[in-house]
Structure 1
């Protein structure tokens, strides 16, 4: 499944503003939703989410930005416990909607890979005719 393309502009948190040097106010930044594209509810709204930082892998140590059309919040969430067949962990939070991180394809990454594979086919044998993808 493709990755959701929702974007939010987050202002710096108040504690970051309080610690910033006078005259050097941190700027707002864009964040992209990391969930699969079909995570909206029946009204077409949903909580989008992106992980901002992880404070060491403890349960609930990952801080996520979650937003919808009415609000944005920063919340600590535990990691999803699911493992793929290679025993790699899901990179999303526990109880996330849509697919696990290994099922979500970044459309930008896929577009870049397509261009590179066309320009340098010897680097992408799996994309050659009869070779899969």
Structure 2
């Protein structure tokens, strides 16, 4: 499934502004939803979400921005504990996320860039060659 294309333009949080050096106010920035494109079809927890930073064990998760058309908030959320079917990759989303796990979500822009690069430089992408070998 493709990644959701929702974008939010957010001002820096008040605590970040308070910590900024005088005369160097932080700029607003954008975040991209990291969930699968169908997450808004879920009745519960349909907010868009983007990870801002990993708490490295402090909360056992990361700080995420969750938003919809009415509000945006920063929330610490634990990591999803699911492993991919091959047992090699943990889900990079929060516990209880709607839609697919991170390995099922494809960033269409990243995929398009990778496809062009693989066509122009196939030696750099042996996994994309016919047969998957190098």
| TM norm structure 2 | 0.87
Q: 1:59 to 1:66 in 2, by over 3 A?
A: same
User: Aligned-residue CA RMSD in angstroms?
Assistant: 2.0
* Count of residue pairs the alignment pairs up: 130
Partner Cα separation in structure 2 for residue 94 and residue 65 of structure 1: 14
- 2:23 and 2:13 map into 1 onto residues whose CA distance is 17
Tell me which stretches of 4 or more aligned residues in structure 1 moved more than 4 Å.
none
Say if 1:61 and 1:124 are closer, same or farther in 2 by CA, change over 3 A: closer
- Deviation by residue 1:72-124 (Cα, 9 ceiling, x = unmatched): 01001010010112332110000000110111111111011111111112333
The 1-side partners of 2:74 and 2:9 are apart by 13
Displacement of 1:60 in angstroms is 4.8
Please name the residue that 1:66 is paired with. Answer: 66
Q: TM-score, normalised by structure 1?
A: 0.88
